[in-house]
Amino acid sequence: MDEERSRYKDEMIRRKARQDAAVAARKIEEKGLLIVYTGPGKGKSTAAFGLMMRAMGQGWKVGIVQFIKGTWDTGEKRAFARFADLLTWRTMGEGFTWETQDRDRDIAAARAGWQAALELMNDPEMRLVVLDELNVALRYDQLPTDEVVAALQSRRPSLHVVVTGRNANPDLMAAADLVTEMSATKHPFAAGVKAQAGIEF
Amino acid sequence: MDEERSRYKDEMIRRKARQDAAVAARKIEEKGLLIVYTGPGKGKSTAAFGLMMRAMGQGWKVGIVQFIKGTWDTGEKRAFARFADLLTWRTMGEGFTWETQDRDRDIAAARAGWQAALELMNDPEMRLVVLDELNVALRYDQLPTDEVVAALQSRRPSLHVVVTGRNANPDLMAAADLVTEMSATKHPFAAGVKAQAGIEF
């Protein structure tokens, strides 16, 4: 047992040493990150909400634009009402495209959303801006990808931006500092469980 | 242009019809989900925090046990202070194992965490319980996997449970309703950017 503990301890010390060496070998800097949450799995917008929560816990001013979702009175929205001192929330989407079935209206909503995004990103007090479902607006060509990526790249260096939604554009992923792909290893809708308040919205 | 719009609209209608048919073909039920966020990518605990936020926005009572993380005064913890009416937060971890380097202490902390988890899960007022980094405690054999999975499976049917952490146990994933694997398509540490307040903690 003592031998086992000793081996365990040695392994933990070796692991820590390797980690320290790897970190020391790199140039370390602090900068605003461009974060992309994409993929078919659940948790993309949810992770963005968690980041907003964390950032507001640090006292940061945070902004969010919802590009595609409609104006539902969702759980997160009511929860974020407790952060009215720190949070600016803009919902520009008209609902998913297969609900509106009107491309001109979708494009107008996406443009209004992008305008709101630019305003938030240009606000010097904002430290984190979330562009929820922007990937979907780009995917359906509701916004010019090159213009969007250029604006994200030329943002103020200290500003963190999170972009969510399936099918992230390759140019956007190339410009990003952090890309997490959420893959749906198991999805409850496939097992016949419906979307539920508190969990899905 | 009119033709393009018409094609677009037709495609959206077809898509909606397929979706409706797929949903109608299934048995739909409402039940508490066992959700697992795993994989090497960033966003696992963050997505769990987002879910807690959403659930509390619906007025639910929510509990969380942190199995591995230490007692840092993190952003999320300060943010969650605004939900003292709905949230029970237990931090049992002694920090990551390669920091404590004491297997007996790690095991004692994990057992205390699991005890807290059982108490939260047995509280009839709780509607969502998050077991943050439980996967790591299981991975290092700090808790008996069969006992943990059995307790999760025999929970009250309406209770949602979220388990986070890398390297989720296969038996746990088999028991889960929803598994999202976060893969690290791009990670900022690899590019020499250090962990930053507001984003990482």
Q: For the segment A101-149, what is each residue's pLDDT rounded down to a tens digit?
A: 688 888 988 999 999 999 999 999 999 999 999 999 999 999 999 999 9
Q: Specify the residue for token string 């939900």.
A: B83
pLDDT at A71: 46
Q: List CB contacts (< 8 A) between B73 and chain A.
A: none
According to CATH, the topology of domain B30-191 is Rossmann fold (3.40.50)
The pLDDT of B8-13, averaged and rounded, is 61
Percentage of residues in chain B with pLDDT exceeding 70? 73
| Distance in angstroms (rounded) separating the CA atoms of residues B101 and B154 | 34
pLDDT band at B16 (very low <50, low <70, confident <90, very high): low
pLDDT over 80 at A173, yes or no = yes
pLDDT band at B71 (very low <50, low <70, confident <90, very high): very low
Q: Which has more confidence, A155 or A2?
A: A155
Q: How far is A19 from chain B (nearest CA, A)?
A: 10
Among partner residues B47, B82, B178, which is closest to A50 by beta-carbon distance? B47
pLDDT at B77: 83
Give DSSP secondary structure letters for B139-199.
HTTSS-HHHHHHHHHTS-TT-EEEEE-SS--HHHHHH-SEEEEEEEEE-GGGGTBPP-TTT
pLDDT over 70 at A38, yes or no = yes
pLDDT over 60 at B148, yes or no = yes
pLDDT at A97: 53
Q: How far is B42 from chain A (nearest CA, A)?
A: 6
Give the range among A32-41, A131-140, B87-96 with minimum mean pLDDT: B87-96
pLDDT at A197: 72
Q: How far is A114 from chain B (nearest CA, A)?
A: 22
The pLDDT of B22-43, averaged and rounded, is 76
Q: Is B51 on the interface with A (CB under 8 A)?
A: yes
Q: How far is A53 from chain B (nearest CA, A)?
A: 6
pTM of the predicted protein model: 0.76
Identify the residue among B94, B178, B194 best suited for mutation to test binding to A, counting A beta carbons within 10 A and taking the highest. Answer: B178
Among partner residues B47, B57, B184, which is closest to A79 by beta-carbon distance? B57
pLDDT band at B68 (very low <50, low <70, confident <90, very high): confident
Q: Which has more confidence, A88 or B196?
A: A88
Among partner residues B13, B180, B191, which is closest to A41 by beta-carbon distance? B180
According to CATH, the topology of domain A34-184 is Rossmann fold (3.40.50)
Distances (CA, A) of B122 to B138, B149, B190: 21, 15, 42
Q: Are the CB atoms for B135 and B168 separated by under 8 Å?
A: yes
pLDDT over 70 at A31, yes or no = yes
Among partner residues A30, A47, A184, which is closest to B43 by beta-carbon distance? A47
pLDDT at A10: 62
Q: Which amino acid is at B40?
A: P
Q: Is B201 on the interface with A (CB under 8 A)?
A: yes
Q: Is A51 on the interface with B (CB under 8 A)?
A: yes
The pLDDT of B149-160, averaged and rounded, is 96
Q: List CB contacts (< 8 A) between A129 and chain B.
A: none
Interface of B with A in 73-112 (CB under 8 A): 74-80, 82-83, 97-99, 101-104
Beta carbons within 10 angstroms of residue A60's beta carbon: 20
The pLDDT of A81-105, averaged and rounded, is 78
pLDDT at A144: 97
| Distance in angstroms (rounded) separating the CA atoms of residues B111 and A75 | 33
User: ipTM of the predicted structure?
Assistant: 0.71
Helix (H) or strand (E) holding A157: none
pLDDT at B102: 80
Q: Is B70 on the interface with A (CB under 8 A)?
A: no
Percentage of residues in chain B with pLDDT exceeding 90? 57
Token pair for A74: 């969702």
pLDDT band at A28 (very low <50, low <70, confident <90, very high): very low
pLDDT band at B99 (very low <50, low <70, confident <90, very high): low
Identify the residue among A10, A12, A169 best suited for mutation to test binding to B, counting B beta carbons within 10 A and taking the highest. Answer: A12
Q: List CB contacts (< 8 A) between B197 and chain A.
A: 58
pLDDT band at B92 (very low <50, low <70, confident <90, very high): confident
Distances (CA, A) of B73 to A95, B80, B96: 38, 11, 16
pLDDT over 80 at B101, yes or no = no
